Structure 1
Amino acid sequence: MGRKIAGLLALLLLLNLWGCVTQAGMDPELPEEPASQEADSRPEESAPEDFTPYQAPAFADSAFHSEQAQGESGVLLDLSATAQGYVGVSAQGEGRLKFQVLQGETTYTYNIGSDGTPAILPLQSGDGDYTFRVMQEVTEGKYAKLYEASASVALQDPFQPFLRPSQYVPYGENSACVKKAGEIASGQADALGVVDAVLGYICESVTYDKELAKTVEKTYLPDPDKTLETGTGICFDYASLAAAMLRSQGIPTKMVFGYVQPDDLYHAWNMFYTQESGWVSVQYEVESNTWNRLDPTFSANSQESGFVGDGTNYTDVYYY
């Protein structure tokens, strides 16, 4: 409760929220939010003599394995890493292409390139039978199936999809955001300290980009390293950067798209998981062994606390 980031998150939910809009089938867009206030000054804290730095586990990567892929009609589908929580797809074709991941009644739809560039997508619905489809636009807004395949997925553990790079959370072992996360983590004693410090760093370093919010395309994808370099971004960028930095340190992190009340605004934020107990997020305390909610966009840009609530004003829709 006394962690540094708790002070920032006390300002988390604001009176004037500007939201993100999305097209049906999930092309996330952006909010217009208040300009960033000046970051709080934080005195440096000296580590105790018996301090043991946090040790991140081995880097969890993702990759497209063309030699193990299957397909036809210009499509290659890589199902070799489903146990690690992701699927890879590469497609070539005319016009716009989409990739669908279906499990039970849940469908995730992604824009993918038509030039053969591979995309990595998470299997966030967990264990079960999946159907994968590549859809090609035949007339404006109407798609026909180009390729379909099915697979039964058994994850190594339920956190796998939220520990690795993917289309919405792109990074590599040598990415600048990963190196920065490692530097930050080296000064912390445990995973909660890493979350605290990483979110604090993002809140102090990144401001909301209103101009980008006005002009961004619906096919926009975040680049955590670019967000880190420019110090600006939209909610999509904030959530992607936070997820990249925390995942790279072995902390399972979801990027969430959903709605925030009272204005039913579409928005992106994060949730992290740890078995360590105690932390405050969005002004409410959560039990240990649960996912905790984090909103770096509002935390960084909030100017008023008139909207502080118990977290029930957030409605999760999609997880990445």
Structure 2
Amino acid sequence: MFKKLFTMTLLAALLIGSPKGIEAAAPYIIDRSALDKGIITVAGSDLNDTKAIVRISKDNNKYDYYLTNGAQYPLQQGNGTYSITIAQFLSENKYKVVSQESIELKMDDENAVFLQSIPMIDWNNNTKAVAEAKRLTSDAMSDREKTAAIYSYIVRSIQYDYAKAQSLDSGYTPDLDAVYDTSKGICYDYAALFAAMARSLNIPTRLAMGYEASAPATFHAWNQVYLKDIDQWVTIDTTYDAARVQNGQDTPMIKQAADYTITQIY
């Protein structure tokens, strides 16, 4: 449903330079104060002036993000040892490593990371959809009921934006207020909107990317939600279901996980 963009792929950038001995002179500092929530932030004097990336690696998996001031970066691959690499732009697809550190993550609740605001699910208490989520779920008694209320709102209210899907720039991330105001978006917008609304209600929610069985060549985004009452992650796809519901078709909220192939999770 959309192109593979920078924040959704394993960056093919060439990282130049040895990390040995660079920490003392590094222009960036990794803030570990929120490791109990599974996130880090990066501080630096030239964050607004220098194009840079942060690469978060664990085992054989790598996630790359543009480095921006104040952004929270998730350690979403569970407890264990992560390598954090910061690299500054040189030219074309080349970056120079300026800092590299290891972080040992030992969270009591590994699902806590899926409650946070991160670059592709950027929300706070002033986000319009967050206020809408509170209104929609004011009478809900369980996480499942809250999830169903958010799901129903999105699949009935948000229209797929075909023009946007064809015109996105590299590095696109959803503007949740814009999606809410226009009631239009692509699958990335649907999934980010759903995740922000559910996370704001303390429901662990993942934004997953990859492929769905009925369209195996189309890169797609959807959600996984942790329901405490059944102690299970369930799969929800508001994009495809919006098309079905808006065409008068019945469809179950919870999908078969086997129909989805995940390449990234946020």
- Same fold flag (TM > 0.5): yes
CA distance in 2, matches of 1:177, 1:131: 34
The 2-side partners of 1:216 and 1:146 are apart by 30
Distance between the aligned counterparts of 1:86 and 1:76, measured in 2?
Answer: 14
Q: Between the two proteins, what is the percent identity of the paired residues? A: 28
Which position in structure 2 is the counterpart of 1:110? 65
Equivalenced residue count is 246
Q: 2:129 aligns with which of 169, 172, 177?
A: 177
Contact 1:208/1:297 (<8 A) preserved: yes
Q: Structure 2 stretches of 5 or more lacking a match?
A: 11-22
Picking from 26, 32, 41, the partner of 2:8 is 26
CA distance in 2, matches of 1:129, 1:76: 18
CA–CA distance in structure 1, aligned partners of residues 177 and 219 of structure 2: 24
Match status 1:301 vs 2:243: yes
Instruction: Give unpaired runs (5+ residues) of structure 1.
Output: 1-18, 29-69, 277-287
Report the equivalent of 1:272. 225
- 1:310 to partner: Cα distance: 4.4
> Residue 36 of structure 2 aligns to which amino acid in structure 1?
A
Name the amino acid aligned to 1:161: V
* Residue matched to 1:51: none
2:223 maps to amino acid: N
Q: Secondary structure at the match of 2:77?
A: coil
Based on CA coordinates, which of the two structures has the bigger radius of gyration?
1
Taking a change above 3 Å as real, the CA distance of residues 172 and 25 of structure 1, as seen in their structure-2 partners, is: closer
Contact 1:71 1:77 in 2 (8 A): no
Superposition CA RMSD, Å: 2.5
Amino acid of the structure 2 residue aligned with 1:141: N
Give the Cα–Cα distance (whole angstroms) in 2 for the partners of residues 73 and 238 of structure 1. 38
Question: Equivalent residues in 2 for 1:137-286 (5 A)?
Answer: 137-261=89-213, 262-276=215-229
1:74 to 12, 21, 27: 27
Larger strand proportion, structure 1 or 2? 2
Q: How does 1:121-136 map to 2 (within 5 A)?
A: 121-136=73-88
- TM-score (norm: length of structure 2): 0.84
Per the alignment, residue 13 of structure 2 pairs with none
Offset of 1:90 from its aligned partner?
3.9
Whose helix proportion is higher, 1 or 2?
2
Q: Report the equivalent of 1:314.
A: 260
Tell me the CA shift for residue 311 of structure 1: 4.2
Give the Cα–Cα distance (whole angstroms) in 1 for the partners of residues 179 and 24 of structure 2: 35
**Residues 185, 72 of structure 1: alpha-carbon distance in 2 compared, 3 angstrom cutoff:** farther
Q: Secondary structure at the match of 1:256?
A: strand
Runs of 4+ in 1 over 6 A off after TM superposition: none
Give the superposition deviation at 1:77: 1.7
Q: 1:24 to 1:229 in 2, by over 3 A?
A: closer
Q: What's the offset of the Cα at 1:221? A: 1.1
CA distance in 2, matches of 1:243, 1:72: 38
Pairing partner for 2:52 from 90, 97, 101:
97
Q: 2:121 and 2:87 mapped to 1: Cα distance?
A: 23
The Cα of 1:20 is off from its aligned counterpart by 2.4
Q: Which of 1 and 2 has higher RCO (CA within 8 Å, sep 6+)? A: 1
